[in-house]
Amino acid sequence: MTTSLKRQFTGVIYHEMTHIRQLNGKGQAPGGLIQGIADFVRLQADLAPPSFWARLGQGDRPDECYNVMAWFLDYYNSLRYGFVAELNKRIREEYNSGFFVKLLGKTVDQLWSDCKAQNETGHYKL
């Protein structure tokens, strides 16, 4: 197995292992968020394959695809360390989009707009 293939395989395992420990608000949490958290873990482990993953601020909505959500979560986790862990804890029993307001002070739409604008100004580059 090549190094690149091992790395991608390991990234997939990180993603899937996250699902084992993850709850989904008793089915209420959006699938894009659940998948995005799993890819956030992969991103945090530095196992995101750069060739096909989106970058921060790409896409039209944070839940457009798994890795767009992962970058969105990573951005806000960088501003408030532990945010994703706290969000994950809160969706154990239920899901409420108000969790974003409680944790970050803004709605998901506002956060997405801020994230897009921040990326365009180049203040958050990886």
Query: Cβ contacts of residue 62 below 8 Å, gap of 6+?
Result: 32, 36, 68, 69, 72, 108, 111, 112, 115
Least separation in angstroms between residue 18's CB and Zn ion is 8
Query: Cβ contacts of residue 79 below 8 Å, gap of 6+?
Result: 104
Q: Residue 91 and residue 104: Cα distance in Å, rounded?
A: 15
Considering the complex, state which of residue 7 and residue 19 has its C-beta at the smaller distance from Zn ion: 19
Considering the complex, state which of residue 80 and residue 92 has its C-beta at the smaller distance from Zn ion: 92
* Interface positions, 10-49, toward Zn ion (CB under 5 A): 35, 38
Least separation in angstroms between residue 39's CB and Zn ion is 8
* Interface positions, 50-109, toward Zn ion (CB under 5 A): none
Question: Rule CB under 5 A: which residues touch Zn ion?
Answer: 35, 38
